Structure 1
Amino acid sequence: MTVTIYHNPACGTSRNALALIRHAGFEPTIVDYLQTPPSREELVRLIADAGLTVRQAIREKGTPFAEKGLDDPSLADDQLLDAMLAMPILINRPFVVSPLGTRLARPSETVIDILPETFKGAFAKEDGEVVLDAEGKPLR
């Protein structure tokens, strides 16, 4: 099974999603989207496949979102997409794609929904929050 993660190694949520994918027994294709942003078509597909709106897929925290006036409700999706492609830090993360679906893995354990149940043992996020029990079953 092929899994792809649009990853930011500086983001704890992204690191936790990557660790969960590996805990399930998969070595994903890792796309450092800050260095290699998706094309417009890829970004539109990721957002649609994840069942999100463009506004839901744009990152506000720790980005120039407000500074660039992107909080203006009159901006069209195309304008927001233009901004996301010009400044990839505005793309929320991590997007994860598997044959079972696409998710914006926020929180990171959302990735569990698109992975087969191949988890072996407990898993805790970087902050110590346990998301899989000793049998590899989700605690949510």
Structure 2
Amino acid sequence: MTTVTLYHNPRCSKSRQTLALLEEQSVQIDIVEYLKNAPTAEDIQAILTMLAVSPRALMRTKETEYKEQNLGDSNLSDEQLIAAMVNTPKLIERPIAIANGKAAVGRPPENVLAIL
């Protein structure tokens, strides 16, 4: 049986929809409420590698914290952007599903089916 790690925010409708979609599949789900248990820099780097995207592509750029922390500054390094996500996990796009050595962002929720 496939195990899916889901970085989940229960207050987010897309995250809830993704969880419901995964529950319909024959998979075991390991839910990580990332706002309560923030991922480490190493976790985020691993997710970025699996998604083959830059840190900024995994960030919620419309969040107030993004603007307040001046994270739109193009001079910031990947390490600085990852540190911002570790320190302010609300900035991380959600939900993120990981299975079979691959990751997918559940926007739309059906995106996660590709990694099962």
Q: Same fold (TM over 0.5)?
A: yes
Which structure is higher in RCO with an 8 Å CA cutoff and minimum separation 6? 2
CA RMSD, aligned part only? 1.3
- The structural deviation recorded for 1:7 is 0.3
Identity of aligned residues (%): 37
Q: 2:48 is matched with which residue?
A: 47
Give the distance between the partners of 1:41 and 1:21, measured in 2 at CA.
Answer: 25
Q: Which runs of 5+ in 2 are unaligned?
A: none
Q: Quick check: 1:96–1:102 contact (8 Å CA) kept in 2?
A: yes
Give the letter for the 1:10 counterpart: R
Partner of 2:24: 23
When Rg is computed on C-alpha atoms for both structures, the one with the higher figure is 1
Q: Higher helix fraction: Structure 1 or Structure 2?
A: 2
Aligned length: 115
Match of 1:4, SS state, is: strand
Task: Kindly state the Cα deviation for residue 100 of structure 1 after the two structures are TM-superposed.
Answer: 5.9
SS in 2 for 1:18: helix
Residue in 1 that maps onto 2:63? 62
Report the Cα distance in structure 1 between the residues aligned to 2:52 and 2:18, rounded to whole angstroms: 19
Q: Would you say 1:79 and 2:80 are equivalent positions?
A: yes
Gap runs ≥5 in structure 1: 116-140
Output the TM-score relative to the length of structure 2.
0.92
1:28-62 deviation line (CA, Å, top 9, x unaligned): 00000000011111110011101211110111233
Per the normalisation by structure 1, the TM-score is 0.77
